[in-house]
Amino acid sequence: MVTHYLSAADLSRSEAEALLERAQALKAEWHNGGHPQPLLHGQTLALVFEKPSLRTRVAFEAGMTQLGGTGSYLSANDIDMGGRESVPDVARNLSRWVQVIAARVFKHSTVEILSEHATIPVINALSDREHPCQALADMLTLLEHRGQLQGTRLAYVGDGNNVCHSLLLLGAILGVHVTVACPPDYRPDPDVLAHAERLASTYATEIRITTVPAAAVEGADAVYTDVWASMGQEHEAARRRPIFQPYQVNAELLKLAQPDALVMHCLPAHRGEEITAQVIDGPQSVVFEQAENRLHVQKALVLTLLNC
């Protein structure tokens, strides 16, 4: 098993499947009244966050509590990594006090530097390059609804951002065929795409990129979208809006997918922009199941990294 989880590509297919299986077991335990053993008793997770959060923070903190451990939240004001204190020194200090670090950062290089200097596992809780914990929750949600992942067709419509990157990588590993529809200037990062294509070749998975939303969604088992301007890109929102308007996930676009296609979004959502209220609040939407599954996959991830 990997010692850190910085990218969705850090897992092999067998490791990813085992992690999802454990998440399913943890979820079943929790829904049946809780966990009989405090597997993380005395263990502490440091949450080093440069960005605000709802799902990531609460899911990690609640998960640690449910398993008998503790989450310690550290905002940008508490640490100011790279300012008041260097990233390597943050890693060295935390390694003396806690058992695992979850870092939600702007630059992907920050989690890489943390992992290089930490003597404990480091989890990428979001960076500008990837959102691998979200991808795990998404795959668990697909698995629950489809019964299997291999052969499932996922259409991602919108910005080729960090969420898109992790879906491409983990989808390729787990046999989920991923088609991305995005404007020409907002394609996924070429290096990430090339990596996903290599993984797809290894695992006999299909990866496609198009500029036509209808081409991506036609026949899809799930339709996924995200905000058009991510955190840190708010100043671009007005400029992006007319470019991305044709990529809105609405009832007309959804008709092209399978009749029982799932509607997915990592949240927070801007209803009326990347997705209509009718669709995200409709009967095919599983967005809040995705959000719940952040709790279960993150618990499974921490337990796996700590060999508990």
- Can you tell me the distance from the alpha carbon of 256 to that of 75, in angstroms, rounded to the nearest whole number? 43
Confidence of residue 229 (pLDDT cuts 50, 70, 90): confident
Position 232 scores a pLDDT of 63
The string of pLDDT tens digits covering residues 56-65 is 999 999 999 9
Position 236 scores a pLDDT of 76
Among 55, 104, 129, 296, which one carries the catalytic annotation?
104
Q: Is 10 a catalytic residue?
A: no
**Hey, what domains does the chain have and what are their CATH numbers?**
8-131+294-305 (3.40.50.1370), 134-290 (3.40.50.1370)
Among 108, 129, 294, 296, which one carries the catalytic annotation?
294
Q: Is 294 a catalytic residue?
A: yes
Winning range, highest mean pLDDT, from 1-5, 78-82, 158-162: 158-162
Three-class DSSP category at 300: helix
Strand ordering across the sheet containing 153-157: 207-210, 177-181, 153-157, 222-225, 262-265
What is the Cα gyration radius of the chain? Answer: 19
Structure tokens at 25: 């077991």
**By the 8 A CB rule, do 264 and 290 touch?**
yes
CB atoms within 10 A of CB 191: 10
Position 84 scores a pLDDT of 85
The string of pLDDT tens digits covering residues 30-66 is 999 988 889 999 999 999 999 989 999 999 999 999 9
- Can you tell me the distance from the alpha carbon of 209 to that of 156, in angstroms, rounded to the nearest whole number? 10
**What value does the mean pLDDT take over residues 179-195?**
97
Structure tokens at 146: 């489809």
At 297, which amino acid appears?
A: V
**By the 8 A CB rule, do 150 and 174 touch?**
yes
Position 126 scores a pLDDT of 98
CB atoms within 10 A of CB 301: 24
Position 233 scores a pLDDT of 66
Residues of the chain with pLDDT > 70: what percent?
A: 98
Q: Is 134 a catalytic residue?
A: yes
Confidence of residue 82 (pLDDT cuts 50, 70, 90): confident
Among 10, 128, 189, 226, which one carries the catalytic annotation?
226
Among 99, 134, 248, 298, which one carries the catalytic annotation?
134
The string of pLDDT tens digits covering residues 246-291 is 999 999 999 999 999 999 999 999 999 999 999 999 999 999 999 9
pLDDT score of 125 more than 90: yes
Q: Is 266 a catalytic residue?
A: yes
Residues of the chain with pLDDT > 90: what percent?
A: 90
Among 13, 129, 131, 165, which one carries the catalytic annotation?
131
- The overall average pLDDT reported for the chain is 95
Confidence of residue 92 (pLDDT cuts 50, 70, 90): very high
Type and span of the H or E element at 155: strand 153-157
Three-class DSSP category at 270: coil
Among 164, 266, 290, 296, which one carries the catalytic annotation?
266
